[in-house]
Amino acid sequence: DTAVSQTPKYLVTQMGNDKSIKCEQNLGHDTMYWYKQDSKKFLKIMFSYNNKELIINETVPNRFSPKSPDKAHLNLHINSLELGDSAVYFCASSPRLAGQETQYFGPGTRLLVL
Amino acid sequence: QQQVKQSPQSLIVQKGGIPIINCAYENTAFDYFPWYQQFPGKGPALLIAIRPDVSEKKEGRFTISFNKSAKQFSLHIMDSQPGDSATYFCAARQSYNTDKLIFGTGTRLQVFP
C-alpha cells in the first residue's frame, strides 16, 4: 500500500552510461515532481507534470528527460551520466488542490556515478 | 540564489528542550509555507504548514510562528524527544499555478536523552 514508490532504490553506474528511474503513485494525484538532493542535502525541484503535461522545467541539463506515460507514473531518464549527477533523486506527488497542497515524497533513488 | 534562507545548519538539544529553526524569505508572492521532516534514508514528509494570513499554527508539539512584515517564519518543537532527531526543511510555494516549492537548506536536529 505504498503511496509513492521509486525503483531502483540504489543505482551505481559508470560515467557516460544512460539510466532510468521509475516512479509510481497510487494516491490518485494529478501532479508529480522530480527533486534532486545533493550531498549537502539541498533539495531542488527539477520537473513537474500535471496530468501528463510538463508545468515546471527548471534549469536542468537536457541530458535529463522526464516522461509521464500516465498521471500515475513519472519516469526520469538520464543520458551520458556525469560524476556531478551523483545525488538522491526524489519523486513526489500532490493533489494540487486549494487546501491540499501537501507533496508526498517517495523513498528516493540513490544514484552514484563512478 | 537562495530564496529561502534557513538557520541554523545544525542544532543539538537535550530531551525536553525547545529547538527553534528559523527561515527568512524575500519574495512577497510566496503564499504557502510548509515544513518537512526527513529521517536518514527516507524521503521528506510534511510536518506542518501555514499560510501568510495566520501568525501561528500549532499541531501537537510543533508550532509555526509567522511574521509577514519581517518575512520570517520559524518552527518550534515543544518537549523535544530523541525520535525528533531528523533534518528539517522549511519551504515556500512560489506560485499557485505551478505549485513550485523552494526549499531552505535544512537543519539537522539531534535530541539527546
Cell of A4: 509513492
A109 touches chain B (CB under 8 A): no
| Residue B59 pLDDT exceeds 70 | yes
Number of compact structural domains in chain B: 1
Residues of chain B numbered 52-81 and touching chain A (CB < 8 Å): none
Four-point Cα dihedral A99, B52, B92, A21, nearest 10:
-10
Cell of A85: 549527477
pLDDT, residue A101, reads 81
Give me the mean pLDDT over the B78-103 stretch: 90
Q: What is the pLDDT of residues A68-80, one digit of tens each?
A: 999 999 999 999 9
B87 touches chain A (CB under 8 A): yes
Domain boundaries, chain A: 4-97+104-113
Residue A65 CB: number of other CB atoms within 10 A?
14
Domain A4-97+104-113 has CATH 2.60.40.10: yes
B19 touches chain A (CB under 8 A): no
Among chain B residues, CA nearest to A5: B43
A23 touches chain B (CB under 8 A): no
Which pLDDT band holds residue B1 (cuts at 50, 70, 90)?
low
How many residues are listed for chain B in this entry? Answer: 113
Q: Could you tell me the end-to-end alpha-carbon distance of chain B, in angstroms, rounded to an integer?
A: 38
CB of A105 closer than 8 Å to CB of A80: no
Higher pLDDT, B98 or B74: B74
Q: A99: left (phi > 0), else alpha (psi -120 to 50), else beta?
A: left
Which pLDDT band holds residue A1 (cuts at 50, 70, 90)?
low
CB of A67 closer than 8 Å to CB of A75: yes
pLDDT, residue B23, reads 98
DSSP state of B15: T
Give DSSP secondary structure letters for A55-105.
EEE-S--TTEEEEEEETTEEEEEE-S--GGG-EEEEEEEE--BTTB-PPEE
Q: What is the pLDDT of residues A34-71, one digit of tens each?
A: 999 999 999 999 999 988 889 888 888 999 999 999 99
Residue-range definition of the domain harbouring residue B79? 4-112
pLDDT, residue A52, reads 83
Give me the mean pLDDT over the B85-104 stretch: 88
Residue type, B46: L
CB of A85 closer than 8 Å to CB of A78: yes
| Residue B2 pLDDT exceeds 70 | no
Q: What is the pLDDT of residues B32-44, one digit of tens each?
A: 999 999 999 999 9
Residues in a beta bridge with B50: B33
CATH number for position B65: 2.60.40.10
CB of A19 closer than 8 Å to CB of B79: no
- What value does the mean pLDDT of chain B take? 94
Q: What is the pLDDT of residues A4-37, one digit of tens each?
A: 999 999 999 999 999 999 999 999 999 999 999 9
Can you tell me the distance from the alpha carbon of A12 to that of B105, in angstroms, rounded to the nearest whole number? Answer: 26
**Best to test chain A binding among B30, B32, B42, B101 (most A CBs inside 10 Å):** B101
Among chain A residues, CA nearest to B48: A102
Can you tell me the distance from the alpha carbon of A53 to that of A47, in angstroms, rounded to the nearest whole number? Answer: 11
Which pLDDT band holds residue B99 (cuts at 50, 70, 90)?
confident
User: Which among B41, B98, B108 has CB closest to A55?
Assistant: B98
